[in-house]
Chains A and B, each alone.
Chain A
Amino acid sequence: MLASFRELAVKSPWIYRINAGSCNGCDVEMATCALIPRYDIERLGCQYCGSPRHADIVLISGPLTRRVLDAARRVFDEIPDPKVTVAVGVCPISGGIFRESYAVLAPIDQYFPVDVNVPGCPPRPQAIIEGVAEAIEVWRQRL
């Protein structure tokens, strides 16, 4: 029973986006993944959901500005375990163009347990899809 549930669950991971102070470049690309039929991430069974409580995979963009840390933590903790975290863009990975700024806390793996990184500024939609595909693999092992 549990095994078949696992099999079914990896077919439909729901995605949630957290914007941790991103310039919106990465967010536009993430939205593009799902909204435009050319990329259509829903073929992988993924769907963006409105509530963090429904999510399985969380995509974080942005260099984690100081002001957003508390809010991001709160939302992140609402997502049920096991979850998979994907850092989208170089901002969350290394700070990218904002690195060493007094206003940002990047890299975000000091604050959140990151599983998959998708570098790029912004990464193209296909690269994000590739990252999500890797995240689904991680999730399969974690379930």
Chain B
Amino acid sequence: MNFLALFARNLTKGPYTEPFPFAPAPTAKRFRGKIEFDAETCEGCRLCERVCPAGAIRMTRTAEGMTFDCWHDSCVFCGNCEFHCPTKSIHQTADWHLAHTQDQKFLMVEHALIPNQICAECGKEALATAPATRTVTPPLSPTETQHLKALCPKCRAKFIRARKAAA
């Protein structure tokens, strides 16, 4: 565009400058920003922790279950965790408002807990993760998935084997 055309456009369209910080800044829907984690759908495979190049994610076994922590002060917004997560329980939001003063450092954490539960079949204590059901054929019904979620890993495997044998 030559100078005159630009000049004419600026005259008619007004200033090109974004009003931020005096008004919200436009953000693309797919902007790769702050990490968000959903403990409900997480399978507890810990792939995200393993693939994170910045070591921003840590999952730890505690007495109550397994905790998930992602430090926004370490995350490099690469999207590796989201790419590899089989359930997309971890994903990047379009939120980039992360600037903070020094006293807040390392306090901006995405924290969640995958609690322990008592297995509905054998009564053993195990993590209440979402069951990995993508490869199961035929696909599980919602009630079956619900039932599977209440079981421990061993009983889950038993259930799936029995289902396969029946099919």
* A121 touches which of B71, B76, B97 (Cβ 8 Å): B76
Q: Which residues of B contact A111 (CB under 8 A)?
A: none
Q: Which residues of A contact B31 (CB under 8 A)?
A: 124
What CA separation (Å) do A124 and B98 show in the bound complex? 11
What CA separation (Å) do A93 and B76 show in the bound complex? 11
* B99 touches which of A43, A90, A95, A131 (Cβ 8 Å): A131
Q: Which residues of A contact B141 (CB under 8 A)?
A: none
- Whether A117 contacts B17 in the complex (CB less than 8 A), given A90-B75, A94-B71, A97-B54, comes out as no
- Whether A117 contacts B105 in the complex (CB less than 8 A), given A97-B76, A126-B25, comes out as yes
Chain B contact residue count (CB 8 A cutoff): 30
Q: How large is the interface on A (under 10, 10 to 19, 20 to 34, 35 or more residues)?
A: 20 to 34
Q: Which residues of A contact B21 (CB under 8 A)?
A: 44, 126, 129-130, 133
Q: B57-76 interface mask toward A, CB cutoff 8 Å, 1 = contact, 0 = none?
A: 00000000000000111111
Q: Which residues of B contact A94 (CB under 8 A)?
A: 54, 71, 73-74, 106
By the criterion CB–CB under 8 Å, are B17 and A90 in contact? no
* B73 touches which of A116, A119, A124, A130 (Cβ 8 Å): A119
By the criterion CB–CB under 8 Å, are B101 and A37 in contact? no
By the criterion CB–CB under 8 Å, are A99 and B99 in contact? no
Offer 11 A-B interface pairs, CB within 8 angstroms, sorted by A.
A37-B17, A38-B17, A38-B18, A118-B98, A119-B99, A119-B100, A127-B96, A127-B99, A129-B21, A130-B99, A138-B101
Question: Interface of B with A (CB < 8 Å)?
Answer: 15-18, 20-21, 25, 31, 53-55, 71-78, 96-102, 104-106, 108
